Amino acid sequence: MHIRLMQAKSYFYNGFMQLVTNNGYLLILATLLSVVLSNSGWGAHYLHAIHMPLFSFVPNSSAEWCVNDVLMTFFFLIVAIELKYELTQGALNTIKLAAMPIYAAVGGMLVPAFIFYLFNIGSATANGWAIPMATDIAFALALYNVFGNKLPPYLKIILSALAVVDDFGSILAIALFYSNSAPSLVYGILTLVIIAVLILGSKKNIHAVFYIVMLTVLWWCMYNIGVHPTMSAVAVGLIAPYHITSQWLHVLHKWVYYLIVPLFAMLNTAIVIDATALQSCLTSTLVWGVIAGLVVGKPLGIVLGVYASKTLGWAKLPANISVKHILMMGILAGIGFTVSLFISSLAFGNSTILLTQARIAVLVAGVFTVIVGKMMSVFFKA
């Protein structure tokens, strides 16, 4: 029974990795389609459809709001469940295994944020410091699939773990710094719900409906007190037991990665790129801060994190992994996309100009990452 359970978990994990890899190509197509539509003769109709209210009884209930605030809850639920899997049974299930990708992720979050802040210090755009922190696991694994024949197989596990930790760090940044209410109120509600889930969740006869109700209540509370409601999924995803979350994943993962995330990509890259927008981007510290943070800061931070932890004896690289492999992994991790776009909408949602600049910067950084990744893979002949 135990062997069959482990085989099932291994099958799920391998299937999940293949799913997000394939999804990376779908995200590219969704992004290109959105940019083309936005700048075509149908652009005005497309943008109107995205922002028009869908429900008269819900304020600001546009298609963009429905995807960003409601449907993306399921994306963050999967991220939380995935992180829990890595911590308990996957690549991070011991301190020794977890240390290296965790230190790499910390460096890969702090350095990009610091570089962005240097570009924007003293400016209103400094609020976007968390944009270059994230790594898009779908895009990163899609690129790994392109360069994978030249990279050690274990590097894919490290990259996956790093991306999960990156996403979790970004989730914390969203919860702590991109919410409108007092943290004490937020933590009070979170604590009460989590205590209830922990106490009742330890009992084997608790039905999955209990966690669904908790998720719904927590989402509603966070929405009404100003905390981004998708964070409700993180708490429930980390606490709910595996026998329940595995059922959710079985039902949700294809819907999330083949429908919700591509929809998110489409709606959040509906950017009108004209001469004025491009000219403003050329002199924008916001744009250059995001690009420098993702393209330069991300690989630099990851290499520094690995080097520091190895030098201090806190982590150890596998025998077949060299510094050049870590650098290549850092370059691939420079694809922020999904979470970076998400943070952009939170940081600059009240400014169309700044939001457009941030989104263009994330897209340009992604293009640079692909180009640099290809050049480095040829140069290193890894």
**What's the pLDDT at 8?**
47
**What's the pLDDT at 171?**
73
Contact 249, 81 (CB under 8 A): yes
Dist CA 142 CA 87 (whole Å): 23
**What's the pLDDT at 1?**
44
Most confident of 50-59, 204-213, 241-250, 304-313: 304-313
The answer for residues whose C-beta is within 8 angstroms of residue 141's C-beta and 6 or more apart is 17, 20, 21, 24, 156, 159, 160, 163
Residues 1-5, mean pLDDT to the nearest whole number: 45
Given a cut of 60, is residue 36 above it in pLDDT? yes
Q: What is the pLDDT of residues 299-350, one digit of tens each?
A: 999 999 999 998 888 887 776 778 888 888 999 999 888 788 888 988 888 8
DSSP-based three-state secondary structure for 313: coil
* CA 218 remoteness from chain centre: 21
The answer for residues whose C-beta is within 8 angstroms of residue 64's C-beta and 6 or more apart is 50, 51, 267, 268
pTM of the model: 0.74
**What's the pLDDT at 281?**
87
| CA angle (217, 137, 239) in 5-degree steps | 30
**What's the pLDDT at 189?**
65
**What's the pLDDT at 89?**
78
Given a cut of 70, is residue 178 above it in pLDDT? yes
**What's the pLDDT at 60?**
76
Which of the 8 DSSP states describes residue 41?
A: T
**What's the pLDDT at 5?**
44
Given a cut of 60, is residue 4 above it in pLDDT? no
183: domain CATH number? 1.20.1530.10
Dist CA 159 CA 157 (whole Å): 5
- Whose tokens are 């719900």? That residue is 193
Structural domain for 172, as ranges? 2-380
Q: Render 160-207 in DSSP notation, one character per residue.
A: HHHHHHHHHHHHHHHHHHS-SS-HHHHHHHHHHHHHHHHHHHTSTT--
Contact 337, 27 (CB under 8 A): yes
**What's the pLDDT at 7?**
47
> How many beta carbons lie within 10 A of that of residue 2, not counting itself?
6
Residues 188-207, mean pLDDT to the nearest whole number: 67
Contact 181, 191 (CB under 8 A): no
Distance (Å) of CA 235 to CA 36, 165, 204: 37, 15, 19
DSSP-based three-state secondary structure for 53: strand
Confidence of residue 170 (pLDDT cuts 50, 70, 90): confident
Dist CA 212 CA 207 (whole Å): 9
Q: What is the pLDDT of residues 97-108, one digit of tens each?
A: 778 888 999 999
**What's the pLDDT at 132?**
94
Q: How many domains does the chain have?
A: 1
**What's the pLDDT at 109?**
94
The answer for residues whose C-beta is within 8 angstroms of residue 246's C-beta and 6 or more apart is 9, 12
Given a cut of 50, is residue 188 above it in pLDDT? yes
Given a cut of 90, is residue 353 above it in pLDDT? no
Q: Exposed, middle or buried by CB within 10 Å (0-12, 13-18, 19+), for 249?
A: buried
Share of residues in the chain with pLDDT > 70 (%): 82
**What's the pLDDT at 204?**
64
- Give exposure, 271-289, as e/b (b: 16+ Cβ within 10 Å): beeeeeeeebbeebbbbbb
Q: What is the pLDDT of residues 253-298, one digit of tens each?
A: 888 888 888 888 888 888 888 777 788 888 899 999 999 999 999 9
**What's the pLDDT at 126?**
92
In the chain, count H helices and then E strands.
Answer: 18, 0
Pairwise pLDDT comparison (120 vs 199), residue with the higher score: 120
Which residues share a beta bridge with 53? 62
